[in-house]
Amino acid sequence: MDSTTKQELGDRIESTCSDASPTQSVSPSPSSTNVAPNCRVENVDSDISFLTSTPNSQTTPHSATERPSDLEVVQVSTSVPDHQQTIGTASEMSFTLFPKFPLELRRMVWSCAISSPRVIELQSVKLTPRVTKSIALMAVCREAREVALAFYHLIRLGPTISTPPFYFSAENSICLLNDSSSTMMLLPPAIRDTSHPWNTFRKQVTTLAVDPLLYYGQANSPDHPIVVAAGQGLKIGTATAIFAGLKELIILRRAGFQEYSRATVAFLTTYGNSGGYRRMLPSSVDWRVPHITYLDYGYNDGENPWEAVRKALLAHRQ
């Protein structure tokens, strides 16, 4: 959803809220309330001030015309205990007018909420997908689920429980490679066998991400970085050939390892443009260098590097 559509959605929500809950101000009228002299009127409502009679030094009663001059306005303290403030804040955060919105407007809100990015990891020798973020709208209500099901479709890659079905949308999903041994294993059946379960899914993936160093299996620089970079470039290039609809390849790189990432991409593009991948792929596969995006990221000592990669990808697409 672009910025213009979001602005239009915000304007319509504001207009609907104004129509559904008009602001009303009610003030007590002194003329409509009979207050006897020397009487104290107490009210716990913070919107109403109360009146207290102030007697003169003399004990004679006041006439009706003197009564207004004997009254003073006492301001009500609106302070409340901390636990009551907490309850009030939680109540104010709830948005009770949403069900009163027109159906079209509610569906626009659901559509805006469902476009958040998701990372799907491709791991093990069979590139088994692992979704790292569930679709919250699937469990909100039937209306939200209908919008979600129109946006995602269910992918089934195998009949066993080891490869459970998952929901996928090319619009907001990033596939992350994290096992270099899987590429060569999958390439022949996925491309040559039209009945292979992956044959449909591989054509729908548009964004692929990889950290060449982690893909190699090391968190630190290898002993021979240029040689390893060439080998990783070959494997990553082969992986891009699997996904026929690929439009973008995201290369993740950490501080201090930019040269290694550049060497990997240089081999990938040089080997690919010289026809290297075409010689190892079926003639039906038209391999081209996808658009390459470099994404810098970092992580602290003791942190799981793959978790840092996932966080960087989600932040990149927010």
Tens digit of each residue's pLDDT (9 = 90 or more) over 129-145: 677 667 888 888 888 88
* Residue 91: pLDDT over 80: no
Pair of tokens at residue 208: 């692929």
Chain Cα centroid distance, residue 188: 36
Q: Is residue 193 part of a domain?
A: yes
Distance of CA 251 to the CA centre of its chain: 22
Is residue 122 a part of any domain in this protein?
yes
Does residue 161 belong to any structural domain of this protein? yes
Over range 16-35, report the average pLDDT. 52
Checking if the pLDDT of 64 tops 50, the result is: no
Strand ranges, E, within 3-94: 50-53, 71-74
The arithmetic mean of pLDDT across residues 149-158, rounded, is 83
Report the alpha-carbon distance of residue 182 to residue 102 in Å, rounded. Answer: 49
Distance between CA atoms of 67 and 35, rounded to whole angstroms? Answer: 10
Report pLDDT digits (tens) over 161-185.
666 788 888 888 898 887 655 555 5
Domain that holds residue 303: 118-133+154-317
**Residue 232 covered by a domain:** yes
Residue 270 lies in a domain: yes
- 125, 185 Cβ separation under 8 angstroms: yes
Residue 33 lies in a domain: no
| 160 within domain boundaries | yes
Whether residue 112 lies inside any domain: the answer is no
Confidence of residue 224 (pLDDT cuts 50, 70, 90): low
Q: What is the pLDDT of residue 121?
A: 84
| pLDDT the model gives residue 132 | 62
Q: Which two tokens stand for residue 111?
A: 């559509």
The residue-averaged pLDDT of 19-31 equals: 50
Residue 248, pLDDT > 90, answer: yes
- Our count of domains for the chain comes to 1
